[in-house]
Chains A and B, each alone.
Chain A
Amino acid sequence: MFSYCLRRTLAAVPVMVVVALFVFLLLRLSPGDPAAIIAGDMATPEQLDRIRETLGLNQPMYLQFFNWSGDLLRGDFGTSLMSHLPVTTLMAQRLEPTVSLALLSMALSVIIAVPMGVIAAWKHGSLIDNAVMSLSVLGFSVPVFVIGYILIKIFAIDLGWLPVQGFSRISEDGVGAFLEHAILPAMMLSTIYIALIARMTRASMLDVLGEDFVRTAHAKGASEKRVLFKHALRNAGVPILEVIGTGFALMITGVVVTESVFNIPGLGRLTVDAILSRDYPVIQGLILVTSGAYVLINLAIDLSYALLDPRIRYQ
């Protein structure tokens, strides 16, 4: 088990190095002079020189890379060209809304989708199954922002139960206020994952329910609930975890839209702003952080396979 974890963790290191290299080259290989891109169209030659100096662009490429990654390892992601604040400070301010929203959405998706998928598989071919499948097609095909606006129309404007937009941090205003603001964005964000996870749960459960050991469980006199949740669901778990993991990774795109619709000051908004203003250090920092999150999530998923399945553990 320990060796398995260690191997998986070490395997993540080269991935991060490649990501870092890519991010580094992103600025260096974009067409034209990075200093010119950063300085904008109206810059004077002196300004350009100064930018080259501060970015170290007059050094050889490999030295630049080593200096830059050395800074990264010390936690220095550079300074924003627009706000002149350290990139780490900017991201730290925006981290909580995004992470708390993503976690809430994922929790919501899993809690709703897994039972839906299990029941659909159990009642395979029935009305419930068809309803679940149709809903999931709907969940896939309706654009995220449309769902967001419909939710706002119903729950915030017509019923007046929830705020139209804005955000409250758990760290400042407590869980209640957070949920009040986050529940609609989380519902919007989770629609597609509910669809995805429910479908995968159903498919995976259908496979497992045809297995011999499920018949054994029935032959032992186990109740339906026990067969479904104790024997089948865990065996169906690996593909479901897989989707949850990929879902998390894909969620960042959803977060960008959601944060715009609900005016939430999170990383998604920061990303959009940074791209629009070509704030390269911020873009680089965001890419590094999100890809780092991808890698960590995948690592966590890989390790949870091993927790789930002893056969993987002992390999």
Chain B
Amino acid sequence: MNAMAMGLESAATSSVLDIRDLEVVAQPAGQRILKGVSFSIAPGETLCLVGESGSGKSVTSLTVMGLLPKGSLTVSGGSATLEGDSLLDAGPARMRALRASRMAMIFQEPMTALNPLMRVGEQIEEVLVMHRHKLGAAERRQRVLEMLDQVQLPDIERIYASWPHQLSGGQRQRIMIAMALILEPKLLIADEPTTALDVTTQQQILKLIKELQERHGTSVLFITHDMGVVADIADRVCVMRHGEVVETQPIEDLLRRPRTGYTRQLLTAVPSLRPRASREVTDREIVLEAIELEKRYGERSRWQRFVGKASQQTLAASDINFALTRGRTLGIVGESGSGKSTVARCVMRMIEPTAGGVRVLGKDIAGLGRAALKPHRKRIQMIFQDPFRSLNPRLSIGTSLIEGPVNYGASKESAMAHARELLELVGLPGDALDRYPHQFSGGQRQRIAIARALAMEPDVLVADEAVSALDVSVQAQVLGLLDDIQRRLGVAVLFITHDLRVAAQICDEVMVMQKGVVVEYGPAERVLGSPAHPYTRSLMLAAPGRHWDFAAFRPLADAPIDDASVVVSSGP
């Protein structure tokens, strides 16, 4: 931390949160998780805590809240003060009194952060019940309704009486925000509050937090791994790595003149929103084709027909047409519920399409039975989102890799030899064959998952959000690997993602889906460079940090699409 910054903050009592040399160790091994973390937040300021997984940013926030998992993590040194009150010396009762009233927290997963068996209104009201004993029931209800209105929920009386499962992710996050801010705490800790949300919802939630922050003068400690979000909301940024603060700078300075190599590396790893130059078409053979593909859910059961229940069918995907040629990458982008994963699963025949055809190398596999399908299964292989769950933890890497080929008649020895080559191809040592998934990091596991898919020598790889769970630097490596493999083996890739930055960097063609239908389909350069459909434009506009060229450390002279062009043509 430089002298000037220290000078600005040295009226230390004026800062809302002040953390000095905070150390946390893991029990019982005594491994140091936080190694002397220091930063402070001024009133009304937004400080972004940035770092990759394992950097200790969440541990820092949980320490402040006094919510470290008991017995496994303990504070071993340093101080944390909230408006002059030491948080580390406060007893349990004092900490309970401080929570929600002077510091509050919202979490990453709005889907699981609310008690599923309590009406959301009651859950907000509970804060008042615990901290404002004098309020009567009617007053409490009134306060909650006001707060629901402040977080801009519609039809607040109905929302008050709703159960969490009846609300969308964005609505649940609004409930969490209402709960956090109802007592007007001085400090709001937001731990990746928008990571699990769609971009357009993310944009709304970020805007809401900003508005409420200005209205109540709240300081915000915002934890995120997303540089785009940082660029949009931060006043100052604190970069963490391996339990240490790497650098703390005002946002402009950090983005323009990062002081450390690590921050530079983080920034350059952010994929650009500007689509890469299109690649030359080398092979025109169509390997995968979808023809008027449709998936309909909600056929009535016999009982429902018997009691005359109205049919509630949902078209998860309808009239999907695309053709993927050898060696190319087609991206399907869209928000949750757009049907992109449904299409991927239909193409894989993991679920049965209700109409239309899927052609793999010209052969329609949509109606094939189990046995007839088998020879075609190996032509098309999948890479899943979460590398921590997609590999069987009880099987060695070698066993996982040869399972498919052996099922298709390869001998164990030849399959194992091939597996060794594949591991080298994805950049892992051959001796990884005898090890188990838990011995690898997320990025390495995703490489293994890619090797597993390649072991079948497929013509098409279907990657469903295959890099979404990875840190940006690892994400960049895995994307590079996919690109490299594609060039070497000529495999075609169907790439499902919600992340337009990733899509812009890897796709040749892009198909944008919304509510089960394709709204735009064409070369990536055109669809993402100059989108024609209002929905694609709204997605591009919602992409956080779209005005900034991170890798070049400067703002974009011309944002990929600008706001004006949308206002003009956003009509139907």
Contact = CB atoms under 8 A, between A and B. Distances in A.
Interface of A: 3, 7, 125, 211-213, 215-223, 226, 231, 234-235, 308-311
A218 B176 contact: no
Contacts of B179: 216, 220
B115 A216 contact: yes
B163 interface: yes
Contacts of B466: none
A220 B303 CA distance: 44
A3 B65 CA distance: 45
Interface string B104-133: 110101001111111000000011001100
B395 interface: no
A212 B113 contact: yes
A311 B130 CA distance: 27
A308 B131 CA distance: 27
Contacts of B115: 213, 216-217, 231, 235
B96 interface: yes
B178 to A, nearest CB: 12
B165 interface: yes
A235 B113 CA distance: 13
Contact of A211 (B96, B112, B176): B112
A157 B165 CA distance: 57
* 10 closest A-B pairs by CB: A221-B99, A212-B112, A221-B96, A213-B115, A310-B163, A221-B100, A219-B105, A212-B113, A220-B100, A216-B113
A223 B67 contact: no
Given A221-B130, A310-B165, A213 B113 contact: yes
A235 B117 contact: yes
B566 to A, nearest CB: 36
Contacts of A310: 116-117, 163, 165
A97 B390 CA distance: 56
Contacts of B96: 221-223
Contacts of A235: 115-117
B385 interface: no
A294 to B, nearest CB: 24
B79 interface: no
A238 to B, nearest CB: 10
B98 interface: yes
A220 B67 contact: no
Interface residues of B, number: 31
B99 A218 contact: yes
B263 interface: no
B106 to A, nearest CB: 8
A287 B569 CA distance: 75
Given A211-B112, A221-B130, 9 more contacts: A7-B303, A212-B112, A216-B114, A216-B176, A217-B115, A221-B127, A231-B115, A309-B116, A310-B163
A220 B126 contact: yes
Contacts of A234: 117
A124 to B, nearest CB: 9
Interface of B: 65, 67, 71, 95-101, 104-105, 107, 109, 112-118, 126-127, 130-131, 163, 165, 176, 179, 303, 307
A199 to B, nearest CB: 22
Contacts of B303: 7
Given A219-B105, A220-B179, A223-B96, A3 B165 contact: no
Contact of A219 (B104, B109, B118, B307): B104
Contacts of A308: 117
A252 B101 CA distance: 53
B117 A3 contact: no
A219 B123 CA distance: 12
A287 B100 CA distance: 58
A222 B130 contact: yes
B87 to A, nearest CB: 13
A218 B67 contact: yes
A212 B163 contact: no
A180 to B, nearest CB: 40
A218 B95 CA distance: 10
Contacts of A211: 112
Scoring A220, A226, A309 by chain B CB atoms within 10 A of each residue's CB, the highest score goes to: A220
B307 to A, nearest CB: 7
A221 B165 contact: no
B107 A216 contact: yes
Contacts of B126: 220, 222
A178 to B, nearest CB: 36
Given A212-B107, A212-B113, A213-B116, A219 B67 contact: yes
B114 A213 contact: yes
B107 A221 contact: no
Contacts of B71: 125
B130 A219 contact: no
19 contacts: A215-B113, A216-B107, A216-B113, A219-B104, A219-B107, A220-B100, A220-B127, A221-B96, A221-B100, A221-B127, A222-B126, A231-B118, A234-B117, A235-B115, A235-B116, A235-B117, A309-B117, A310-B117, A311-B165
Contacts of B131: 221
A311 B104 CA distance: 28
Nearest to A222: B130
A308 B116 CA distance: 10
A173 to B, nearest CB: 42
B364 to A, nearest CB: 36
Nearest to A313: B163
A186 to B, nearest CB: 31
A153 B485 CA distance: 79
A213 B127 contact: no
B167 to A, nearest CB: 12
Nearest to A3: B307
B345 to A, nearest CB: 23
A226 B131 CA distance: 13
Given A125-B71, A308-B117, A221 B101 contact: yes
A215 B179 CA distance: 14
B91 to A, nearest CB: 13
A308 B179 CA distance: 24
Contacts of B116: 213, 235, 309-311
Contacts of B165: 310-311
A212 B109 contact: yes
Which of A125, A217, A219, A308 has the most chain B CB atoms closer than 10 A to its own CB?
A219
B115 to A, nearest CB: 4
A264 to B, nearest CB: 40
Nearest to B176: A216
A293 B100 CA distance: 49
A5 to B, nearest CB: 13
A219 B97 CA distance: 10
Nearest to A7: B303
A218 B107 CA distance: 12
A257 to B, nearest CB: 38
Contact of B107 (A3, A215, A223, A309): A215
A310 B112 CA distance: 15
Contacts of A216: 107, 113-115, 176, 179
Contacts of A220: 99-100, 126-127, 130, 179
Contacts of A215: 67, 107, 113
B111 to A, nearest CB: 9
Of A211, A218, A235, most buried by chain B (CB within 10 Å of CB) is: A218
A91 B293 CA distance: 64
A211 B109 CA distance: 11
A236 B255 CA distance: 47
Contacts of B307: 3
Contacts of A217: 115
Contacts of A218: 67, 99
Contacts of B113: 212-213, 215-216
Contacts of A7: 303
Contacts of A3: 307
B491 to A, nearest CB: 39
Contacts of A231: 115, 118
Contacts of B99: 218-221
